[in-house]
Structure 1
Amino acid sequence: MSYDPRIHHRHSIRIKGYDYTQPGIYFITICTKGRQCLFGDVTKGEMQLNCLGQIAWNCWQTIPDHFPHIELDIFVVMPNHLHGILIITDKPVGAQQCCALNQHLDHNTEQFGQPVNSSIPTIIRSYKSVVSKRINLIWQTKGQSIWQRNFYEHIGRDQKSLDNIRQYILDNPQRWADDPENLQHKSNKPNFLFDIPF
């Protein structure tokens, strides 16, 4: 069946009209497809990364190498999701020369318009793509998606908000037993963003 925008549509969860290249503090949450626990386990309140979790962790660490206008703040790789704070320090100069984490990223997959160089959505798309490709090499699969579509973000507004988000990220492993993202948790309702007192 060919594409029909009347019935085949996805709605962007980004803020309409917001410039995701502007300097700011962005709290990002990315979940695995089907919320599968791929990256390790939480033991006694501490995250124990497996080899796939190490890939997710290492690739996040290299984001500033590929996007020099990005600074990393606190982040945590959990069994089935990642929470992290990205800081855009300045409008990137020469953003066209800024290489993605994955040089072979297919920009034709954009659903809501052309990718914007050095924007938060482009950075996250690049990150997800390179992690997926590296895990596919281990699994000996091709094109297997490990991430759910899209990602969640909250734009930090002030120092108090940032401090609360940092504490939430730091506490995430200790709260795993009660985390709605934990498939063994009785409620299983993904509401992690609503538990943070922004």
Structure 2
Amino acid sequence: MSDKFQGKYRIKSARLQNWDYSNNGLYFVTICTANRELYFGDIVNGEMQLSEIGRLANKFWKEIPNHFPFVELDEFVIMPNHVHGIIIINKPNDGGYNDKRNVETPNLGVSTITMASEKWNPGSLGVIINQYKRICTINARKIHTNFAWQSRFHDHIIRNDESLQRIRDYIINNALRWRDDKFCDE
């Protein structure tokens, strides 16, 4: 049965229900533009050519650690209608998950938070992505008034070095595989 919010059906969250997304760890995220509009540029000969809005998305992604000093960035790519990136949350003295490349999923039988509280938990992945999307939107709408993101984002908790390397390779080679990409609507 679907939940309703303000009289409308809502899709259940794709987030791992019993995971605190403010925990130290590596997170692979994908953020798409609304309706997969090609705001960020074009792929030419297997290389991404950033538009003005794409350059903004690139600039603001690189600035995330300036606003969240416990965040490190790994590989990322701006594509014509989405962004892929690895965000590393590395809070000192977090008390757990200090080996960021070998994250153990906690006991899934006990929930430490609810999804409503996680969304606004300071330092959580959701807050980081929300602020990134916010600053991009404010500035992109000065160029194209209809610019918008999809309301959600995709994430994957990276649990080991093998997964990390596979995701890095995917990000690095994403432009070469654009025509086969699930986010390509061309």
Q: Which residue of 1 is the match for residue 66 of structure 2? A: 65
Q: Which residue of 1 is the match for residue 132 of structure 2? A: 127
SS in structure 2 at match of 1:164: helix
Q: Which residue of 1 is the match for residue 168 of structure 2? A: 166
Q: Which residue of 1 is the match for residue 34 of structure 2? A: 33
- Once residues 164 and 126 of structure 1 are traced to their aligned partners in structure 2, the CA distance between those partners, rounded to angstroms, is 27
- Once residues 136 and 37 of structure 1 are traced to their aligned partners in structure 2, the CA distance between those partners, rounded to angstroms, is 14
Distance 1:84 1:73, change over 3 A: same
Q: Answer yes or no: is 1:112 the counterpart of 2:113.
A: no
Q: Which residue of 2 is the match for residue 87 of structure 1? A: 88
Q: Which residue of 2 is the match for residue 100 of structure 1? A: none
Higher relative contact order (CA 8 A, sep 6+): 2
Point out where structure 2 has 5 or more consecutive residues left out of the alignment: 95-114
- Once residues 34 and 87 of structure 1 are traced to their aligned partners in structure 2, the CA distance between those partners, rounded to angstroms, is 28
Shift of 1:17: 2.1
What amino acid is aligned across from residue 171 of structure 1 in structure 2? N
Identity %: 41
Q: Which residue of 1 is the match for residue 51 of structure 2? A: 50
Tell me if the contact between 2:65 and 2:72 (Cα under 8 Å) persists in the aligned partners.
yes
Distance 1:8 1:92, change over 3 A: farther
SS in structure 2 at match of 1:150: coil
- Once residues 92 and 151 of structure 2 are traced to their aligned partners in structure 1, the CA distance between those partners, rounded to angstroms, is 27
- Once residues 147 and 13 of structure 2 are traced to their aligned partners in structure 1, the CA distance between those partners, rounded to angstroms, is 19
Aligned partner (choices 148, 151, 175) of residue 150 of structure 2:
148
Tell me if the contact between 1:80 and 1:181 (Cα under 8 Å) persists in the aligned partners.
yes
Shift of 1:92: 8.0
Residues 83-119 of structure 1 show CA distances to partners (whole Å, capped at 9, x for unaligned) of 00000112588xxxxxxxxxxxxxxxxx934611010
Shift of 1:178: 1.5
Tell me if the contact between 1:74 and 1:169 (Cα under 8 Å) persists in the aligned partners.
yes
Bigger mean CA deviation after superposition, 65-74 or 112-121: 112-121
Tell me if the contact between 1:21 and 1:91 (Cα under 8 Å) persists in the aligned partners.
no
SS in structure 2 at match of 1:174: helix
Distance 1:165 1:134, change over 3 A: same
Residues 52-92 of structure 1 show CA distances to partners (whole Å, capped at 9, x for unaligned) of 00000000000000000000000000000000000011258
SS in structure 2 at match of 1:176: helix
Shift of 1:36: 0.6
> Scaled by the length of structure 1, what TM-score is found?
0.76
- Once residues 161 and 82 of structure 1 are traced to their aligned partners in structure 2, the CA distance between those partners, rounded to angstroms, is 19
- Once residues 152 and 177 of structure 1 are traced to their aligned partners in structure 2, the CA distance between those partners, rounded to angstroms, is 20
Point out where structure 1 has 5 or more consecutive residues left out of the alignment: 94-110, 185-198
Distance 1:34 1:90, change over 3 A: same
Count of residues paired in the alignment: 161
What amino acid is aligned across from residue 173 of structure 1 in structure 2? A
Aligned partner (choices 173, 177, 182) of residue 180 of structure 1:
182
> Scaled by the length of structure 2, what TM-score is found?
0.81
CA-atom RMSD in angstroms: 1.9
Tell me if the contact between 1:92 and 1:118 (Cα under 8 Å) persists in the aligned partners.
no
What amino acid is aligned across from residue 160 of structure 2 in structure 1? D
Shift of 1:172: 0.1
Distance 1:177 1:10, change over 3 A: closer
SS in structure 2 at match of 1:59: helix
